[in-house]
Structure 1
Amino acid sequence: MSVFFAMNYAGSLCGPVVSGWLAEQTGDISVAFQFGAISLVVSLLLLIPYQRLAARRSTSA
């Protein structure tokens, strides 16, 4: 549970800063939305192995 909250707060802290920086560098706000969409997909892909690991730990314990 602590890993979830740590990643959640890190994303909440860094996400808007990175999105704003990308929007300023490119001059296009849609890049910030694309960054958010890519971040969502990456986080879902990272969740799959973590979920399998958690399932293994709960069955072996």
Structure 2
Amino acid sequence: MTEAARPGGASRPPAIDGRDLSALTRQMKAMVPHYTPEWRFSPDDPDAGRRSFFWLRRCLARMPKG
């Protein structure tokens, strides 16, 4: 079915990010210095920011792959 032929004009779901968890972690480590230079993203030194990131990462991992 084409986009125009969908019943009720429903749009297609957005593309899901295909990166795995280790790729997301690498990107997070690379981005941190640019957004929060005072924060050190260190797996050996857990803090609230790191815990929040890993919680979100677990949530993303449980999403269905599409």
Asked if TM exceeds 0.5, the reply is no
Structure number with greater Rg is 2
TM-score class, shorter-chain normalisation, is 0.3 to 0.5
Whichever structure has more helix as a proportion of its residues is 1
Q: Which has the higher contact order (CA 8 A, sep 6+)?
A: 2
TM-score by length of 1: 0.40
TM-score by length of 2: 0.38
